[in-house]
Amino acid sequence: MTRPIYHFFRQGLRLAPLWLLALLFLSLLAFVGLAEDVYEREGFFFDAPILAFFHAQQSDFWNGLALAFTGSASAPVAGGLALLVLLMAFRRRLDWPLFALGFGGAMLLNLGSKLFFARTRPQLFPQLTPEHDYSFPSGHTMASLALVLALYALLAPGHPRLARWVLGLGLPWALLVGLSRLYLQVHYPSDVLAGWALSFLWVGGVALWYRWAKRAR
């Protein structure tokens, strides 16, 4: 039973670029560090000042922009985009299971994490769009980054140029989605950081495993 696990780590580490391994390790450290303090109900010194900064910037223009970016990563929109990608990947005989596991797994992981940590939403300032479910980690943040990374992993082997475009346009979008959650006062900065870390850790790990599994066939 331990032999497949051993071979996965040995071959996976050999095949993975050093930068990917470094980022996966940093993501793991970041999420574990944040999750531990949230589990123990400890606060973060940077949460309140950052939320206060975004509250001070509020205006009709920024309100509309933040709502637009948040809406672009809502469950119906992100889920619809993911379904469209899956259909196209299936028709073009791409590795659709990789995308499904990367994006779908990230969403299930987010749901499970929210139920486990049960962190309430911030109440420092009024929310610009009411949210009543749990806060940690940010679902919109995870959905946007997981969508970009899973699509990149899907396209990179056969369509590297298109994959680079996905990354170049998608990462700024995912960043702005995360910032919009802070502006709207519906997440702590630590929720957003954890969402980015966990999303990268999951999708990157899935892509690494999938690459190893294909080589091992």
**What residues are labeled active site?**
140, 187
What are the residues whose beta carbons fall under 8 Å from the beta carbon of 55, sequence distance 6 or more?
Answer: 124, 125, 185
Return left, alpha or beta for 99; rule: phi > 0 is left, psi -120 to 50 is alpha, else beta. Answer: alpha
Helix (H, G, I), strand (E, B) or coil at 17: coil
137 vs 31: CA distance, rounded Å: 9
Give the phi and the psi of residue 40 in degrees, each rounded to 5: -85, 5
Token look-up 């987010």 returns 110
Structural contact between residues 216 and 107, judged by C-beta atoms closer than 8 angstroms = no
Q: How far is CA 54 from the centre of its chain?
A: 22
